[in-house]
Amino acid sequence: MPSSLQCINCAQQYPIQRVIYACEACGGLLDVRHDFDALRKPISTDTFDDRLGTFEAPYNSGVWRYKELVYPGIDDGSIVSRMEGNTNLYVLPRVAAFAGINTLFLKHEGENPTGSFKDRGMTTGVTQARILGMDRVACASTGNTSASMASYAARAGMQGIIFLQNQQIALGKLAQGIAFGATCLQIDADFDRNMELVRLVSEKLGVYLLNSINPFRLEGQKSIMFEALQQLRWQVPDWIVVPGGNLGNSSAFGKGLLEMLEVGLIDRLPRLAIIQAEGANPLYRHFNSGFRQFEAVKAETIATAIKIGNPVNLQKAIRALEWTSGVVEEVSDQQIMDAKAIIDGVGIGCEPASACSVAGTKKLVERGIIKRGDTVLGILTGHVLKDPEATIAYHADQLADLSPMYANRMRQVDANLDEIVRVLAESAPSASDYT
């Protein structure tokens, strides 16, 4: 058996087909461990470069292209895929200038099938559910996990059950969960409480839990690093900058990067910068206290995808920070929404949480931690259409405690030619407005 589950604290191992989410000996988080030495062929960059552009499943997916690193030995017939991944890597000089650096690459994970990176973890998570013979899957969600799970569950013919916080979910995400046919439970509790509830219910009813505590999710999300490095021709950037909520992605990045080093795809590790919202910053506080006493917080931020006060993957994220000499930064809702307006304004766009990557880079440059000449790879985690209300409220200056620096105001104009010509003359652009 080339793969197993292993506790990150006490190294206790479990068979890969066991349905457990924590170590039975010590309660620690579990890793999926693959035996890369046992692979028939050694892994090289050619293995993956040869598959670029293929129509052949499963290698046409930006997750399963790296099958040897994601889930070696799996029967291709079990894979539930929507050809996720294959997202663009953008070079945006205007956004780089805003952040204060010369070279900024932004990988847009909002270009996944359901509009967030969650699809990369859901293809592996739902595939494992199928291997285990599950017919029901569940998650607590701030929105994107549920949108993604609902889609993949439908593709696999399973019932998806989602635990949502009443009224706090962004509209685009809620619409997806309903549209894809999931059973949507609106619960009067925040994400952290819903996370506890979904664990209890899953255990009691034997429903397969697909939050990022499920280690198979992170195996798929590792591929963000694989694909980004492949797009960079395997040249390692100085920094990887990513928003942190439940810390699944940062944990997956740490593991993926270390594995790439281990099999020789890269020759050094980049530094990881995890960015949290000021109102949902438990890792930031913990980092600044030298990882002494962890305290959960009551989360509040406009970036609902990272509105999490008690992240389940905390220990894995700490490990990722240690491996990569990483740092943690916090940014305000004002900084998040202004950075978002810059990313949106160049025609790319993202949801609020994603803008942490740019707002956080800017702050780390101002603090002298990231240098102007460093190469930075930022991750845009979700699509601009996920949270239209936040975007419109920002540009209409309707957000409390926040004044938009880059508002694009709508103009009311009479249905009259002269009037329209007059208004357009006032708002003629200068050449430097666009990049």
Ligand X SMILES: *Cc1c(COP(=O)(O)O)cnc(C)c1O
> Structure tokens of 374?
């460093």
Position 391 contacts ligand X (CB under 6 A)? no
User: Cα separation of 257 and 143, whole Å?
Assistant: 27
Position 245 contacts ligand X (CB under 6 A)? yes
- Give me the 92-131 binding string for ligand X, x by CB under 6 A, dash otherwise: ------------------------x-x-------------
Residue 28: contacted member of ligand X, Zn ion, none (CB under 5 to 8 Å, by partner type): Zn ion
- Give me the 304-343 binding string for ligand X, x by CB under 6 A, dash otherwise: -xx-------------------------------------
**Closer by beta carbon to ligand X, 47 or else 144:** 144
**Closer by beta carbon to ligand X, 65 or else 307:** 307
User: Directed axis angle between helix 248-263 and helix 223-231, to 10°?
Assistant: 60
The string of DSSP codes covering 12-25 is -EEETT---SB-TT
Contact pick of 4, 12, 86, 183 for Zn ion (by CB under 5 A): 12
Shortest distance, position 24 Cβ to Zn ion, whole Å: 8
Query: Residues binding ligand X: what is the number (CB under 6 A)?
Result: 19
Q: CB under 8 Å to 323, separation ≥6 — which residues?
A: 254, 257, 258, 269
Position 28 contacts Zn ion (CB under 5 A)? yes
DSSP letter (8 states) at residue 337? H
Shortest distance, position 278 Cβ to Zn ion, whole Å: 34
User: Cα separation of 234 and 264, whole Å?
Assistant: 11
DSSP β-bridge partners for residue 259: none
CB atoms within 10 A of CB 352: 29
User: Cα separation of 242 and 169, whole Å?
Assistant: 21
Q: Is 88 left (phi over 0), alpha (psi -120 to 50) or beta?
A: beta
Position 271 contacts ligand X (CB under 6 A)? no
User: Cα separation of 382 and 201, whole Å?
Assistant: 28
Shortest distance, position 26 Cβ to ligand X, whole Å: 23
- Residues contributing to the site for Zn ion (CB under 5 A): 7, 9-10, 12, 23, 25-26, 28
Which parts of this chain interact with ligand X (CB under 6 A)?
116, 118, 144, 212, 243-250, 305-306, 351, 353-354, 381-382
